Amino acid sequence: MTHAADIHVARRPDHKSFATGRQKLLGHLAGLCFAALVAGSFSFGALAAPHIGPAAINAARFLLGTTIMGVATWLLIGSGALARPRAPWRFLVLGGLMAIFFVTMFVALQFTAPVSTGAVFTLMPLMSAGFGYLFLGQVPRPLVVFSLVVAAAGAIWVIFRGDLDAILGFDVGRGEVIFFFGCACHAAYAPLVRKLNRGEPVLAFTFWTLMATGIVIAAYGLREIFGTAWADLPAIVWAVIAYLAVFTTAGTFFLLQFATLRLPASKVLAYGYLMPSIVILYEGMLGHGWVSASVAAGALVTVLALAVVVFSRDG
């Protein structure tokens, strides 16, 4: 079933054509699942951040995640899909962008709260719309642009914790600044997937991107990786690594690429607008406390903006 869907999108006529009917619905469902899984990585990642370095935890998750995706690709498509890909530099570009995103996320979690990083993540759709125009010539409709701006305003309200004085003084934290640059790389990644895909099945394309991301992270954090006392890590770290590897590495890479090959880049990452609301829910359920009504209102604005973006016409 997956293979058939992969063939369907591999024959798209150009970068400005989008899926319709069932394929479009599946693309939106993939975006929704992507948001829910990524939101979990902020809350769960914060539990592991004090015990392990960002390069080490990401190297471990990508080793496991790449292995899982490789086995899935071999079982569902066949060993031929794992042969050396054409133009492997494409995957180093994509892997490098995602490596920056994942490392900066864990660095940022050492300085700021999961809700704030989740809010910064919601700025990606607006950035992705810009990269979509730059790389693919995708021009979002005025209503979509307006909704992206409104949602970005809601995200900024959450980032500054509903403090108007902090917004006027632009009192943004170190963690938010670090993660903003990582999110810019992620925003560029989404349209580049569509530009650089040469008809490979989504599973195979995901496998090679995961491998490249892991290689870049390992090269960056080699000293940290070998300096980590792996045998002494608490159980929570291994639980988080397992979650990240299965759900927010193999799972979200597949979902993001699946959706990107069917929907405009701005719409795919627009599901990130759900991030603050989902992270707020996760943090409350984990017993870390609930945000103020003012901050929750900012998160609600992003959700309403998502609805406008999703139901607007493509192209």
* 49-84 residue pLDDT tens: 889 988 899 899 999 989 998 998 898 888 777 888
Amino acid at 193: V
In the DSSP assignment, the letter for residue 162 is T
Compute how many other C-beta atoms are within 10 angstroms of the C-beta atom of residue 240.
25
Q: Residue 6: its pLDDT value, please?
A: 43
Per the CB < 8 A criterion, the answer to whether 200 and 10 are in contact is yes
Single out the residue of 290, 285, 279 nearest to residue 118, CA to CA.
279
Amino acid identity, position 86 = R
Pairwise CA distance, residues 65 & 2, whole Å: 19
User: Cβ contacts of residue 313 below 8 Å, gap of 6+?
Assistant: 141
CA distances from 14 to 17, 146, 195, 261, 266 (A): 6, 26, 9, 11, 17
Contact 266, 128 (CB under 8 A): yes
Contact 89, 115 (CB under 8 A): no
Q: What local confidence, expressed as pLDDT, does residue 181 receive?
A: 93
* Token couple for 233: 């890590």
Please, are residues 248 and 67 in contact by the beta-carbon 8 Å criterion?
no
Task: Check residue 16 and give its pLDDT.
Answer: 58
Would you say 247 and 136 are in contact if contact means Cβ atoms under 8 Å apart? no
Residues in the chain where the model's pLDDT stays below 50: 1-13
The answer to whether the beta carbons of residues 278 and 35 sit under 8 Å apart is: yes
If you ran DSSP here, which 8-state letter would residue 313 be given?
P
Q: Which amino acid is at 12?
A: R
How far does Cα 43 stand from its chain's mean position?
15
Task: Collapse the DSSP code of 173 into the 3-class scheme (helix H, G, I; strand E, B; otherwise coil) and give the result.
Answer: coil
Phi, psi (deg, nearest 5) at residue 177: -65, -45
Give the model's pLDDT for residue 5: 41
User: How many CA atoms within 13 Å lie on the side-chain side of 39?
Assistant: 23
Report the alpha-carbon distance of residue 18 to residue 9 in Å, rounded: 9
pTM of the model: 0.72
Dump pLDDT digits (tens) for 165-217: 766 665 678 888 899 999 999 899 888 988 898 888 888 898 999 999 999 99
Q: Tell me which H or E stretch contains 42.
A: helix 21-48
